[in-house]
Amino acid sequence: MSPRLLIYSRTTAYRHASIPAAVAAVSELAAGIGCRADATEDPAAFERDLSGYAAIVFLSTSGDVLTPAGRVALRAHRSAGGGFMGVHAAACTEYDWPYYGELLGARFARHPAYKPGRLTVEDHAHPATEHLPATWEFTDEWYDFRASPRGAVRVLASADETSYEGGGMGADHPLVWCHERGGGPMFYTALGHADEAYADPDFRAHLQGGLRYVTPHPGKVGQSGESGHG
């Protein structure tokens, strides 16, 4: 049975107009690696059995998007080895839940206007960055975070603040990272603001590499439900 992926894009704060394009792209990219994707904005989805899902993707979520029971379920899914992937505004989510901040690695603080800039790819030994050049030209919002996650996560790519105006983190400005603390693999990319990103071949390969990372091997999450990845 094909592994399953849960794509969640609920917003209770700012809502990105690119969410429909993002959901369509991630669903298509998941199919490309043999995953069946279920997309929802219904928090009740987290109050049902999640064990059949290889991984959960928070796709430009914002604000408080989970019920108390949903928080318990997400944490249990992670503890059982489930993967997690956050895209763009996933860092603007569940600010008052400390566990989520630890899971993601950093919390959004601010961003300058949408504009071109450069990323420095620090680690090419990862499926999300292996195809990228050492310097990646991109257009996005260049998120600043409340603190750099470096030291607690594996940083894959960072913003070159000399390439655009308005950066607020200085020389240490991670934008893409991963870790495997507290359960299954976690991948986050701060990129993905606009519709155009989800049609960009390099960004699509970046997202698909993240999906590969969080669904790394066959197996079932937990003890019940449909087969997935562990």
Q: How far is CA 94 from CA 4, 6, 17, in A?
A: 24, 18, 20
Residues present in the chain in total:
230
pLDDT at residue number 221: 45
pLDDT at residue number 45: 97
Residue 220 pLDDT greater than 70, yes or no: no
> Mean pLDDT throughout 161-170?
98
pLDDT at residue number 222: 40
Closest CA to 226 of 39, 55, 1, 22: 1
Instruction: Report the predicted TM-score, pTM, of the whole model to 2 decimal places.
Output: 0.94
Closest CA to 103 of 199, 215, 180, 157: 180
Contact 171, 195 (CB under 8 A): no
pLDDT at residue number 2: 72
Joined together, the tokens standing for residue 22 give 């993002």
Going by the DSSP 8-state scheme, the letter that residue 153 receives in this structure is B
> Mean pLDDT throughout 59-84?
97
DSSP states of 57-115: EEES-BB----HHHHHHHHHHHHTT-EEEEEGGGGGB-TT-HHHHHHHS--EEE---SE
Contact 202, 208 (CB under 8 A): no
Mean pLDDT lowest for which of 34-43, 100-109, 133-142, 214-223? Answer: 214-223
Of all residues in the chain, what percent carry a pLDDT higher than 90? Answer: 90
Question: Using CA atoms, how far apart are residues 24 and 20, in angstroms rounded to an integer?
Answer: 6
Question: Using CA atoms, how far apart are residues 105 and 101, in angstroms rounded to an integer?
Answer: 6
Residue 219 pLDDT greater than 70, yes or no: no
> Mean pLDDT throughout 13-35?
97
